[in-house]
C-alpha cells in the first residue's frame, strides 16, 4: 500500500483528533487542572504527530511536537497552564486544521507555523528559567524530594509570594507519644500555613513508623522564625530547623529533557477515553457503500409500490398476504437503513465553541456558549448542509444579538452574554435552536430599515405582526448592522440562510423579546430521501404533497368558497384561509365543481388550502432531484417514481405559501 | 480513437451527435410534464431510476410538432450537468469519421444554427453536427 492509500485514513483520523483536541481545549479552558482533559489533548497531539511524521507533513508534525512538549509540562505539574498557553494551543489547532484541509484538497499541507512553534517553545522554556533563578537566590536552602504535583504547588506558591520552607523536626529521643507529638506539630503548622508533603508520609507518621525526626514541606505567609518558634514550643520537640525550599537538581534535568512518551496502546486508550461506560461495538463503513445501499433500497421501495399495485389488481389472497409481509419487512428495513445515515449533530456543533470564542474576542464581547442535545441525530445529507446556515446564525447572534459589555451592564445584565445551541427531536422533525440573552430584535428599527431599503412599503409595514417583523431579517437585501463590522457586511444576508434551510425541507422561526433575547428556531425533516406523501390527482397528472406540510384533507362545497379581496378563501376552524388551485399553479385547466378536495397545508404560521382534482392516498415516496437542468421550476421541490414506473412531481408547499 | 457519430432524423434533416456523448437510445415512454417550463421541455422520464429531463428537438430547432410514431426515439446524452434526453423522429445509424468530410457551417442568419457546430458530408449522406450542451441551455423559464 503506498502513502496515497493511507491518505484517506490519515485525513479521517486527523479530523477526529482535531475535534477531540478542540473540545478538550474548551474544557481545559474552563478547568485548568483537569488532568483527564490534558491527557486527552496530549494523546491526540501525539497521535497526530506520529501520523503526520509518517506521511511527511512536517508542519503538522512540528506543531504537534511543540504542543506535546508544552502539555507534558502542564501534565507533569512542572508548569501551570496559562490563558496564553491555551490561546496558543487554539491557534495551533486552527493551523493544523487548515493544513489538514489543504491536504484534503490535494495540497501539500504547508504553512508557516514558526511563530506558533516559537510561542509554544517559549512556554516550555520559561519553566526552566524560573526554577534556575529560584535556585540561585535561595539562601539558606534545603531540598525536598517532591512528586510532580507538589512541585507545581510549590511553584505556584512561590509565584504568588508565599514562603516555602523545608522544616526538619526532631523529637526527643525518649518521646513516648510520638504520634501525638506529630499531631500537635501538624496542628500548629496548619494554623500557620499548609503542609504539602511530609517525609515519612503522614500515614506512616500517624502509625509511628519513623525514628524520631521527620521533615515537612510547608507553604506559609509567616517567616521562618515565626514557624520555628511556634513548633519549638511543642513539648518533646528537641530541635526545629526551617530552611528555604530549593528544587532538587535532578528535577531540573527532567524539565529540560523532552519527554519521550510511548504510544498508548489501543486497548488502554479505549479504556481511558470511554471510562466505565461500556461502548457499543462499531465498525467503520465507507460512506459510498451506505449511499449505494440506500440507492438500492430506494429502487426496492419503488418496486414494492409496483407490487402492491399488482396485488391490488390481481386480488389473490396469497399474493396480498405476501406483499403485506414484504411491506412490513421493508418498513423495518427502511428505518434501519435510514438510521445508518443518521449522524449526531455533534459533528457540526463541535466547531462552534471555538468559533464563538474567537468571534466574541474579535468583537470584544464575553460570551459563554452552552450546547445541549449534541447527540441528536440527523440525516447525513442534512448534516452536510446545515453547517453554513448555523455558522451564519451564530455569528449573527454574537455580532448583533448579544449587546456589548457596556450595554449589558447598563441593562442590568451580567457582563458575560449567553448563547445556547440546542438540538432536539420532536415528532419526525429535528429542531435546532440558537438562543441568546441579548437585546432582542428591535421591531421598530427593523421595520424602518426594511422600508428604507425598499423591501416593503410604509403601508404594508403598518400591517405586519410582530412575528412578520422579525422575519424581515431574512428578507433579501436586509442587514441591520448600523456600523458594518468585520463579521457582517460580507455581502451575504440571512436570506441565504433561509433559502438554504428551506431547500432542506426546513423552516426558520424567530422568537424575540425586547431586552431579553432572541431564539432562532430551525425545524428540519429527519430524513430527506424517503418521505410520506399524499398523492393527488390534478386532471390526469399525479403529484405528491409531503405529509409533513399537511394539516388535514377536507372536502369543500362550492358555496363554502368565499371571495375576499380578489382572493378565494374558506373558513378553516374559524380562520379565513386562502385557497390555491394547484391546477392554476401548474398550468392546467381549473374546472368548477360542486365540491372540491382540499389539502390544508402549513408553512411557518401561514396556512393555505390546496385544491386538487382528487385525493389518491398516502404513500412512502423516494425523493429524487429533478436535476440541475430543471432546478428553478416554480413550486416543485423534486420528483418521485411511482409504483407504475412513472415520474410524479413533488409539490413545494413552502414555495406556494411564500408571498 | 476513431470518431463516430450517431445520426438521427428530424423529417428530411439528418443530424449527428458524437457517439461519446450518447449514453443510450430509448423507445418512447411515458413522460411527465414539467409545469411552467419552456415550451420545448417535454418533461421528465424515469430512466432506470433516475429522473431525466427530455426536450422535444423539433420544437427546440423550430420545426413543427409531429405525431409520435413507432420510430420515435429518445436519445439520452451525457451533458455538462447530467444526463438529458431529446426526442427525434428516427435514429438509425452510426457513421464513422473516415467516411465523411467535416466542413464549417455555411453563413446564415438562421437562429437555430446556434446549436450546430459543423456539417459532415459523406458519399451519400449529409448531416449537421449538434452541440447537445447548447440545446439544454436555459431550459427553465425565469
The verdict on a CB contact (< 8 Å) between B49 and A299 is yes
What is the complex's ipTM, to 2 decimals? 0.89
Instruction: Report, as ranges of residue numbers, the positions in chain A whose pLDDT lies below 50.
Output: 1, 128-139, 249-277, 481-491
Q: What is the CATH number of the domain that holds B69?
A: 2.40.50.180
- Min distance B81 CA to chain A CA atoms (Å): 6
d(Cα A135, Cα A141) in Å, to the nearest integer? 9
Examine residue B66 and state whether it is found in any structural domain, yes or no.
yes
CB of B82 within 8 Å of a chain A CB? The answer is yes
d(Cα A66, Cα A91) in Å, to the nearest integer? 13
Taking one residue from A and the other from B, the number of pairs with CB-CB distance under 8 angstroms is 75
Instruction: Report, as ranges of residue numbers, the positions in chain B whose pLDDT lies below 50.
Output: 140-142
Burial of A146 (0-12, 13-18, 19+ CB in 10 A): buried
CB of B11 within 8 Å of a chain A CB? The answer is no
Please name the residues in contact with A399: beta carbons below 8 A apart, sequence gap of 6 or more: A359, A363, A481, A485, A487, A488
Predicted pLDDT at A325: 92
Q: Are B135 and B115 in contact (CB under 8 A)?
A: yes
Q: Which run of H or E residues covers position A239?
A: strand A237-246
Examine residue B141 and state whether it is found in any structural domain, yes or no.
no
Active site residue A46: yes
Active site residue A425: no
Determine phi and psi for B91, rounding to 5 degrees.
-130, 120
Residue A651: closest C-alpha in chain B = B35
Examine residue B142 and state whether it is found in any structural domain, yes or no.
no
Nearest to A619 by CA among A520, A511, A527, A536: A536
Location of C-alpha cell 460512506: A287
The verdict on a CB contact (< 8 Å) between A633 and B51 is no
In chain B, the number of structural domains is: 1
Q: Which run of H or E residues covers position A533?
A: strand A530-538
With contacts defined as CB-CB under 8 Å, which chain A residues touch B46? 641, 645-647
Location of C-alpha cell 483536541: A21
Examine residue B29 and state whether it is found in any structural domain, yes or no.
yes
CB of B30 within 8 Å of a chain A CB? The answer is yes
A373-to-A280, A327, A370, A391, A431 alpha-carbon distances in Å: 20, 33, 10, 17, 10
Please name the residues in contact with B10: beta carbons below 8 A apart, sequence gap of 6 or more: B57, B58, B61, B63, B88, B89
d(Cα A455, Cα A476) in Å, to the nearest integer? 8
Active site residue A68: yes
Q: How far is the first Cα of chain B from the last one, in angstroms, to the nearest whole number?
A: 41
d(Cα A279, Cα A36) in Å, to the nearest integer? 18
Best residue in B42, B44, B136 for a mutation probing chain A (most A CBs within 10 Å): B44
The verdict on a CB contact (< 8 Å) between A627 and B34 is no
The verdict on a CB contact (< 8 Å) between B44 and A646 is no
Please name the residues in contact with A356: beta carbons below 8 A apart, sequence gap of 6 or more: A367, A369, A394, A398, A419
Q: Are A315 and A338 in contact (CB under 8 A)?
A: no
* DSSP H helical ranges for A76-113: 83-104
Cell of A135: 535556585
Examine residue B81 and state whether it is found in any structural domain, yes or no.
yes
With contacts defined as CB-CB under 8 Å, which chain A residues touch B49? 295, 298-299, 302, 641
The verdict on a CB contact (< 8 Å) between A647 and B41 is no
CB of B52 within 8 Å of a chain A CB? The answer is yes
Q: Are A657 and A608 in contact (CB under 8 A)?
A: yes
Question: Active site residue: A17, A46, A65, A400, which one?
Answer: A46
Residue A295: closest C-alpha in chain B = B49
Q: Could you give the 3-state DSSP secondary structure of residue A270? A: helix
Instruction: Residue B40: give the domain boundaries.
Output: 4-135
Cell of A219: 507553604
Would you say how long chain A is, in residues? 659
Best residue in A298, A583, A647 for a mutation probing chain B (most B CBs within 10 Å): A647
d(Cα A601, Cα A610) in Å, to the nearest integer? 7
Establish how many alpha carbons lie within 13 A of residue A520's alpha carbon, considering only the half-sphere containing its beta carbon. Answer: 28
The verdict on a CB contact (< 8 Å) between A586 and B44 is no
DSSP A264: P
d(Cα A29, Cα A39) in Å, to the nearest integer? 14
Q: How many CB atoms lie within 10 A of CB B64?
A: 7
Burial of A650 (0-12, 13-18, 19+ CB in 10 A): buried
Pick left, alpha or beta for residue B62 (phi over 0 → left; psi -120 to 50 → alpha; otherwise beta).
Answer: left
Residue B35: closest C-alpha in chain A = A586
Cell of A110: 504547508
Beta bridge partners of A519: A435, A511
Amino acid at each position: 500500500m503506498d502513502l496515497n492509500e493511507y491518505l484517506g485514513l490519515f485525513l479521517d483520523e486527523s479530523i477526529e483528533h482535531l475535534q477531540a483536541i478542540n473540545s478538550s481545549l474548551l474544557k481545559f479552558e474552563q478547568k485548568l487542572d483537569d488532568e483527564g482533559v490534558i491527557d486527552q489533548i496530549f494523546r491526540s497531539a501525539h497521535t497526530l504527530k506520529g501520523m503526520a511524521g509518517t506521511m511527511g507533513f512536517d508542519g503538522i508534525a512540528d506543531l504537534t511536537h511543540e504542543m506535546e512538549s508544552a502539555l507534558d509540562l502542564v501534565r507533569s505539574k512542572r508548569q501551570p497552564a496559562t490563558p496564553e498557553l491555551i490561546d496558543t494551543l487554539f491557534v495551533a489547532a486552527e493551523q493544523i486544521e487548515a493544513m489538514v484541509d489543504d491536504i484534503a484538497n490535494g495540497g501539500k499541507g504547508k504553512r508557516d507555523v514558526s511563530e506558533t512553534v516559537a510561542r509554544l517553545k517559549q512556554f516550555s522554556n520559561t519553566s526552566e528559567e524560573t526554577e534556575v533563578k529560584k535556585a540561585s537566590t535561595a539562601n539558606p536552602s534545603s531540598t525536598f524530594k517532591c512528586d510532580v504535583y507538589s512541585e507545581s504547588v510549590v511553584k505556584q506558591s512561590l509565584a504568588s509570594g508565599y514562603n516555602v520552607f523545608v522544616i526538619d523536626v526532631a523529637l526527643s529521643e525518649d518521646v513516648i507519644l510520638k504520634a501525638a507529638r506529630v499531631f500537635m506539630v501538624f496542628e500548629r503548622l496548619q494554623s500557620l500555613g499548609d503542609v504539602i508533603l511530609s517525609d515519612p508520609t503522614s500515614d506512616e507518621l500517624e502509625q509511628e513508623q519513623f525514628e524520631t525526626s521527620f521533615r515537612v514541606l510547608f507553604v506559609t505567609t509567616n517567616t521562618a522564625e515565626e514557624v520555628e518558634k511556634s513548633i519549638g514550643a511543642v513539648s518533646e520537640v528537641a530541635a526545629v530547623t526551617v530552611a528555604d525550599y530549593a528544587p532538587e537538581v535532578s528535577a531540573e534535568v527532567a524539565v529540560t529533557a523532552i519527554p519521550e512518551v510511548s504510544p498508548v496502546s489501543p486497548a488502554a486508550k479505549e479504556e481511558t477515553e470511554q471510562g466505565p461506560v461500556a461502548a457499543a461495538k462499531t465498525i467503520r463503513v465507507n460512506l459510498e457503500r451506505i449511499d449505494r445501499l440506500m440507492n438500492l433500497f430506494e429502487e426496492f421501495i419503488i418496486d414494492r409500490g409496483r407490487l402492491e399495485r399488482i396485488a391490488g389488481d390481481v386480488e389473490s389472497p396469497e399474493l396480498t398476504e405476501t406483499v403485506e409481509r414484504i411491506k412490513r419487512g421493508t418498513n423495518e428495513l427502511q428505518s434501519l437503513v435510514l438510521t445508518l445515515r443518521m449522524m449526531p449533530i455533534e459533528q457540526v456543533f463541535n466547531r462552534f465553541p471555538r468559533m464563538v470564542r474567537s468571534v466574541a474576542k474579535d468583537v470584544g464581547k464575553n460570551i459563554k456558549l452552552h450546547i445541549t442535545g449534541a447527540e441528536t441525530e440527523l440525516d447525513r445529507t442534512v448534516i452536510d448542509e446545515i453547517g453554513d446556515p448555523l455558522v451564519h446564525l451564530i455569528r449573527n447572534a454574537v455580532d448583533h444579538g448579544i449587546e456589548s459589555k457596556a450595554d449589558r451592564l447598563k441593562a442590568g445584565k451580567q457582563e458575560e452574554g449567553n448563547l445556547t445551541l440546542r438540538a432536539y427531536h420532536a415528532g419526525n422533525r429535528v429542531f435546532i435552536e440558537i438562543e441568546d440573552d441579548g437585546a432582542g430584535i428591535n421591531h421598530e428599527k427593523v421595520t424602518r430599515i426594511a422600508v428604507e431599503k425598499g423591501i416593503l412599503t410604509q403601508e404594508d409595514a403598518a400591517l405586519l405582526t410582530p412575528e412578520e417583523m422579525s422575519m424581515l431579517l431574512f428578507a433579501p437585501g436586509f442587514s441591520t448592522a448600523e456600523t458594518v463590522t468585520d463579521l457582517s457586511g460580507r455581502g451575504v444576508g440571512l436570506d441565504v440562510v433561509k433559502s438554504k434551510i428551506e431547500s432542506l425541507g426546513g423552516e426558520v422561526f424567530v422568537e424575540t423579546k425586547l431586552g431579553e433575547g432572541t431564539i432562532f428556531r430551525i425545524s428540519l425533516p429527519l430524513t430527506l430521501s424517503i418521505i410520506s406523501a399524499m398523492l393527488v390527482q390534478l386532471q390526469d397528472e399525479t403529484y405528491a404533497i409531503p405529509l409533513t406540510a399537511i394539516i388535514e384533507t377536507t372536502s369543500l362545497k362550492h358555496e363554502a368558497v368565499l371571495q375576499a379581496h380578489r382572493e378565494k378563501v374558506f373558513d378553516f376552524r374559524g380562520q379565513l384561509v386562502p385557497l390555491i388551485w394547484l391546477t392554476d399553479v401548474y398550468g392546467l385547466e381549473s374546472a368548477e365543481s360542486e365540491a372540491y378536495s382540499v389539502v390544508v397545508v402549513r408553512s411557518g404560521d401561514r396556512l393555505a388550502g390546496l385544491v386538487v382534482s382528487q385525493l389518491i392516498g398516502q404513500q412512502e415516496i423516494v425523493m429524487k432531484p429533478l436535476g440541475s437542468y430543471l432546478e428553478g421550476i416554480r413550486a416543485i421541490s423534486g420528483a418521485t417514481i411511482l409504483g407504475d414506473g412513472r415520474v410524479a412531481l413533488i409539490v413545494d408547499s413552502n414555495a406556494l405559501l411564500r408571498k | 480513437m476513431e470518431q463516430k457519430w450517431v445520426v438521427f432524423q428530424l423529417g428530411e434533416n439528418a443530424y449527428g451527435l458524437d457517439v461519446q456523448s450518447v449514453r443510450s437510445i430509448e423507445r418512447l415512454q411515458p413522460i411527465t410534464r414539467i409545469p411552467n417550463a419552456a415550451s420545448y421541455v417535454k418533461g421528465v422520464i424515469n430512466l432506470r431510476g433516475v429522473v431525466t429531463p427530455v426536450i422535444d428537438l423539433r420544437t427546440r430547432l423550430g420545426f413543427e410538432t409531429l405525431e409520435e410514431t413507432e420510430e420515435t426515439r429518445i436519445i439520452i446524452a451525457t451533458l455538462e450537468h447530467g444526463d438529458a434526453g431529446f426526442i427525434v423522429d428516427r435514429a438509425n445509424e452510426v457513421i464513422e469519421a473516415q467516411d465523411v468530410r467535416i466542413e464549417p457551417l455555411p453563413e446564415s442568419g438562421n437562429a437555430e444554427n446556434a446549436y450546430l457546430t459543423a456539417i459532415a458530408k459523406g458519399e451519400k449522406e449529409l448531416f449537421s453536427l449538434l452541440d447537445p450542451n447548447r440545446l439544454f441551455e436555459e431550459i427553465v423559464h425565469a
